[in-house]
Structure 1
Amino acid sequence: MILLWISSRVISKALELEFQKSLNLHVQDESDDDIKSTDAPKPNLSTEKDDIDDEIVESDIELDNSDVIEPDNEPPQKMGNPSVEVTEENWDAAQLAKGKAMEAISEGKLDEAIEHLTEAILLNPGSAILYATRASVFVKMNKPNAAIRDTDVALQINPDSAKGYKFRGMARALLGQWEEAARDLHVASKLDYDEEIGSVLKKVEPNAHKIEEHNRKYERLRKERGLKKAGCERQHRQAEAKGQEAAFALHDGHVLSIHSASELETKFNAASSLSRLVILYFTASWCGPCRFMSPVYESLAGKYSQVVFLKADIDELRDVAARWNISSVPTFFFIRNGKEIDKVIGADKSGLEGKIAQYASQS
């Protein structure tokens, strides 16, 4: 019996030495700090998406608001009834009231001018020029909202009223509505340019241009952010689709036999895309301990379905075995995200399951 035992040990050792010679292998030092990497680092899509979801904070615009005033909030002024038929007498009376208003304006009596113009508007409510004239007085009185109400009516009556656009633009400038003011004043200058329009435009245009440039800048940023967000969402959809494909390729709960280096790389990449723990088991058909460990390995695969269990025969995949420095079988490598994190050498059932339980719980 002793001779038979010694003979079997000698034969087993001879086979192992012959195997190592054929592969030109060396024993890997278990304290070796070199880590095998089988996958490139993956971009952190979640961090990128969080950055994209952050709101764009617009910077302040430095504007010249020295002439801007507080808005007037007085009750609306009296308006004429557009359905009233204007008689010749009413028209004449309105003209007389307008004349008195112009005289009051020249004397600086603005409240009196408003009273006369209101009388004229009530007598002749269809006159755009009367509303525009009263608006000009409201501008002088620093009552921009009242002026805007009058100019709106004037432009409803006559959409080509140069004075309507002029005084609405001036009123909007008093309120700091620079872009709207610039638009109204430009229309007024095209219809009937005067020096007062040009003077106000010199104050309005610089602010309007700054706002336009600011808006264009942030509109461009929002557009770029939208494109990046769409691209990120597309990447996430593609990643999810690849994840589903990867999960299908890994056959959860089963041991996958590897037959080529490219197939091994494919499984590693699929597992990395899902952040799965991988166990790579090197075996051989002539290995007695392997015949004991193989059913154990199958059982563990069913128990830990979220762990990827791979199996490679060293005689079939000599190049792979050489790359992993296999010196004896069975050998079990633990890989996460393409990097070796641990290994078990030999038919150590409890040690193997203990490490699987340890690393699987860290997923």
Structure 2
Amino acid sequence: FKPEDLARLSAFIETCRKNPEILHIPQLAFFRDYIRLMGGKIPEATKCSEGNTAAADSPKDESKPTPAPGDVHMKEPESDESDVELDNDGVIEGETEPLPEIFQASGAEVSEETLEESNNKRSEAMAALSDGNVSDAVRSFTEAIKLNPGSAALYAKRAAALLKQERVNAALQDCDQAVKLNPDSAVAHKLRGRAYRLLGKWLEAAKDLRLACKLDCDEQAMEWLSEVQPNATKLEEHQRRKERRKAEKENQARRDRVKKAQKAQEEARKKADEEDRHTSGRGGGGGMPAGMPDLSDLMADPELMAAFTDPEISAAFQDVSSNPSNIFKYKDNPKVASVINKMMKKFGGSGGGFGGVGGTGGMPTDLGGMGFEGFGDDVASGGTPAKADEPKKDSAAAATDDDLD
């Protein structure tokens, strides 16, 4: 390769690293095939690039349902965090060996003599690290911590040595203790972020490394943050989408509950209106007195209804409706009196009149229980009414008549 060719290749790789979406353009299909052949993974394409490369890169998945037109509430499939394509290069499993001891500070002030001895052990540990003797360094740091257990810096130093041994769980423990002793320790947050990164806990790693850069930014913290940022961003976006779907689902459920409640209220209102109309419709015609019995049974009696078709009876009831006191005019009319008696029996002797029947008005309420004895129901049923006894003449009148003869 010529130097200029290598320079162009290096620039291309750097461009791909900063902008992985470029890998999805159709012209780089051969390069994508090469990456897959070498066991690599192509970062997930965004919606914009998916439209241009979906047909060239992979066959269309026809097994997924297509939303029907107008189906705006089609449920989106739930996706797990494992569905997010992550770059797990460099991730290791945590060790299973026992963790180093954590010494709790007694709260008493460390004497100068003890502090000096602790510093000597710290110096021995640093020298061992310089010589590459990591195990000796861990032991010396442990002795220094035992002498001065309230030092966050000593726990952070031992955590750095443990990371060199890839004892990430032990390093996490020391960093937790260091942060507990000094929440503003940038070194402790940086090392804990590194430990999380090695375990593949991208969100936790990004959180600690971002805080470390905020507290005391250094080149190593920025480099480690750049490693975890792509995966952390994907997971954060995934979490936001998940929370947004959850909120939309809750909002839709709330809207459905409101609609259901409104529908129930509307149905109840319509039912109440219908019952009111039905109740008002059951009342009699004009002039129906309050407390009048329900006339539905009366109007269902075929004999009475037939009687009201008689012009004489109808005229009598019209007369009484216009002047209730005229009822006494029909006491001696067997046809009308029999109908009155039958109606009174149906009402059980209750007061009231005959409003709403045959177009008549109301009867007086003070005539309740009125009936005319001697007149049966046979008139109302169409039979021939019994002839009423003629009134007897008194003896004086009879004598006068005889004298006239």
Structure-1-length-normalised TM-score:
0.52
RCO greater where, 1 or 2, for CA within 8 Å and sep 6 or more?
1
Asked if residue 76 in structure 1 is aligned to residue 99 in structure 2, the reply is yes
Aligned to 1:171: 195
* Corresponding position of 1:67: 90
Report the Cα distance in structure 2 between the residues aligned to 1:219 and 1:159, rounded to whole angstroms.
Answer: 30
- CA distance in 1 between counterparts of 2:113 and 2:77 reads 63
Q: Deviations over 1:131-188 (max 9, x none)?
A: 0000111222222221121112212222221111111111111122212211211221
Give matches, 1:179-218, under 5 Å.
179-218=203-242
Q: Distance in 2 between matches of 1:185 and 1:82?
A: 27
Q: Partner amino acid for 2:227?
A: K
- SS of corresponding position for 2:176: helix
The one-letter code sitting in structure 1 at the alignment partner of 2:88 is: N
Aligned with residue 152 of structure 1, among 166, 170, 176: 176
Q: Deviations over 1:30-83 (max 9, x none)?
A: xxxxxxxxxxxxxxxxxx9xx78x795125111111122212343332122311
Q: Which stretches in structure 2 are left out of the alignment for 5+ residues?
A: 1-70, 282-304, 306-405
Q: State the 1:119 CA deviation.
A: 0.4
Q: Which structure: larger Rg?
A: 2
Residue aligning to 1:283: none
Structure 1 residue 190 displacement after superposition: 2.6
Counterparts of 1:96 and 1:159, CA distance in 2: 26
On the 8 A contact 1:80/1:123 being kept in 2, the answer is no
- Residue in 1 that maps onto 2:79: 58
Change (3 A) 1:219 1:90: same
Aligned CA-pair RMSD: 2.9
User: 5+ residue gaps in structure 1?
Assistant: 1-47, 258-290, 292-363
Q: Give the secondary-structure state (helix, strand or coil) at the position aligned to 1:86.
A: coil
**AA of the residue aligned to 2:99:** P
The residue that corresponds to 1:98 in the other structure is 122
TM-superposed deviation, 1:98: 1.2
1:229 and 1:165 map into 2 onto residues whose CA distance is 42
The alpha carbon displacement at 1:86 in A equals 1.9
Q: Distance in 2 between matches of 1:55 and 1:138?
A: 45
1:138 corresponds in structure 2 to 162
Deviation for aligned residue 1:239? 1.4
**Aligned mates of 2:129, 2:159 — CA distance in 1:** 12
Structure 1 segments (4+ residues) deviating >6 Å: 254-257
What is the correspondence of 1:264-303 to structure 2 with a 5 Å cutoff? none
Secondary structure of the 1:187 match is helix
* C-alpha contact 1:165 1:184 (8 A) present in aligned 2: yes
Residues 105 and 246 (structure 1 numbering): CA distance in 2 closer, same or farther, change over 3 Å?
A: same
5 Å-filtered alignment, 1:1-363, equals 57-59=78-80, 60-83=83-106, 85-251=109-275
| Percentage of identical aligned residues | 41
**Partners of 1:193 and 1:106 in 2: how far apart?**
24
Alpha-carbon distance, 1:246 to partner: 3.0
Report the alpha carbon displacement of residue 128 of structure 1 after superposing the two structures with TM.
Answer: 1.3
